[in-house]
Amino acid sequence: MARGLRAGLLLRSDLVQPGTWIPLLKAGTSLTPELIAKIRRLGLEGVALGCVEHEHGSARSTSPFFLTSADAAGIEAILSGKGEQADLRLIVNDIHRRLKRLRTIPEFRLAGHYESRHPLNVFTLALVMGTALGYGTAQLLNLGMSALFHDFGKALLPASLLGKAGPLTSQERELVRHHPALSVALLARAPRFSRWSIAAAVKEAIRHHHERLDGSGYPDGLRGPAISQLAMIIAVADTYDAMLSDRPYSRRNPPGIAYQTIKTLAGRQFDHAVVDTFLQHVIPYPAGTEVLLADRQLAKVSQSAPTDPLKPIVIVAGQELDLVECRGLDIVGVRLNRFQERVAVTVPVRVKLGGGQTVWGKTVNLSAEGACIEIPGKIEQAFDIEIQFCLGGALLDSFRGRVCWSCHQENGRTRMGLFVRKGDLISQTKPLERCVS
């Protein structure tokens, strides 16, 4: 990677202000002297360095562009209660026009913290499927509204419950199962949406997005045709994005695993028509994805195979290889591009958990937006925590953050992935630079 910003470099991922999720510059943008000056004025040069890719001449094609920064900003305003229903209608119509020109969608997600990205990711994937199914503008508006507010009711659940890393008790599971109904109730009663016209189809889709064809879903245990197609679209989009995300109780899955899971659940939990549309328009391994093959070789995806998206054409040691023709040579892993580049750092850290409990641990790695830390014991829940680095016997300023995932180690310790809402852990902890291993 380049040691500094210079004109001609491309952004391989969106440049985002730490602590927010709205892109300041989109992936694929070529840096100019004016943009570089702006980045430096904002103090984001270190963040931008984690996003740059290569010179113009060797640039590969970027993902289809159907979600603008203005769209993302408008959706954030709507979710925070500052936008109007007319604003959402315009956004849906604009995205619909762009999507009609696309055949497949190599990438539809914004990377980063699960809970802040999830509504938008479900919204975009739902619109992809709705457009492919031939929905008109009125249906797409209902679908988009259902997707944005499908988890609205989680705001009424205890934060400690949503952030619990261990298994839920039967009482906790029952409480979580109420969130679809709570979403409908909150949307109907929230003053900020008093001027909105919420169609019955939207309320139904929100309430039933966890229902399953075989009756195993909740909250009403519906079966088969009793579940609307809108709810089934939200169910598939919700499940796929959740599987690709780090959460307190589970790590993210490679796209191919999530893709295959959706495929196998067709006809049992998900509607066949919805799943078929999903499979036809979402590519599990976009061109440029770095993958690990069953024989432990590293490869880069060259292009998707129309006959089997799970077996693309890859480049291995400079040679092109069609996995469709290679029996038993499957993709077994994916190199996941992190939202920010991480550096290995091991320093003492004081961690304040919920309820005032304080423990001492250590960092494993750091990025501008977060950290991986290790603490003693088996921690079952840690939704929001506070950390302080200890250097030279002195404690630095504390950082508030949210645990995105946690994993219990064989040595009896717990590792946690922490997302920091505001600030830049790298730039604000300069003394850590000399501790990089």
Cβ–Cβ under 8 Å, residues 316 and 297 = yes
Band (pLDDT 50/70/90 cuts) for residue 1 is very low
Helix axes 229-243, 137-148, angle to 10 degrees: 50
pLDDT in tens, 402-430: 777 778 888 889 888 887 755 566 665 55
CA quadruple 235, 238, 240, 242: dihedral, nearest 10: -140
Query: 33 - beta bridge partners?
Result: none
280 — phi, psi (to 5°)? -80, -20
| Alpha carbon distance 69, 278 (integer Å) | 25
Cis? peptide before 219, omega within 30° of 0 = yes
Is the whole model's pTM more than 0.85, yes or no?
A: no
Spatial distance between the Cα atoms of 42 and 15, rounded to a whole number of angstroms: 12
Confidence of residue 341 (pLDDT cuts 50, 70, 90): low
* Domain spans in the chain, listed from the N-terminal domain onward: 15-58, 69-281, 290-334, 343-435
Residue 3 is encoded by which pair of tokens? 């040691």
CA–CA separation, 371 and 338 (whole Å): 12
State how far the Cα of 324 lies from the Cα of 329, in Å rounded to an integer.
Answer: 9
CA-derived radius of gyration, the chain: 22
Q: Is the pLDDT of residue 385 over 90?
A: no
Looking up tokens 């491309």, which residue turns up? 10
Q: What gap in Å lies between CA 400 and CA 416, rounded to an integer?
A: 14
Decide: 346 and 292 in contact? Cβ < 8 Å.
Answer: no
Give how far the C-alpha of residue 122 lies from the chain's centroid of Cα atoms, to the nearest Å.
9
Which whole number is the average pLDDT over 291-298? 88
Cα 331 from Cα 374, distance rounded (Å): 30
261 CB neighbour count, 10 Å cutoff: 13
Q: CA–CA separation, 115 vs 336, rounded Å? A: 19
Query: What is the longest distance spanned by two Cα atoms in the chain?
Result: 65
Closest CA to 219 of 173, 262, 255: 173
Q: Does the pLDDT value for residue 301 go beyond 80?
A: yes
Report pLDDT digits (tens) over 161-218: 777 767 788 999 999 999 999 999 999 988 888 889 999 999 999 999 999 999 999 9
The upper half-sphere exposure of residue 306, i.e. CA atoms within 13 Å in the direction of its Cβ, equals: 2
N residues, the chain: 437
Q: Which fold has domain 69-281?
A: Hypothetical protein af1432 (1.10.3210)
pLDDT digits (tens, 9 = 90+) for 96-125: 988 887 666 656 666 655 666 789 889 999
Q: By C-alpha distance, which of 263, 271, 187 is closest to 228?
A: 271
Domain range 343-435, CATH architecture: Beta Barrel (2.40)
pLDDT exceeds 80 at position 389: yes
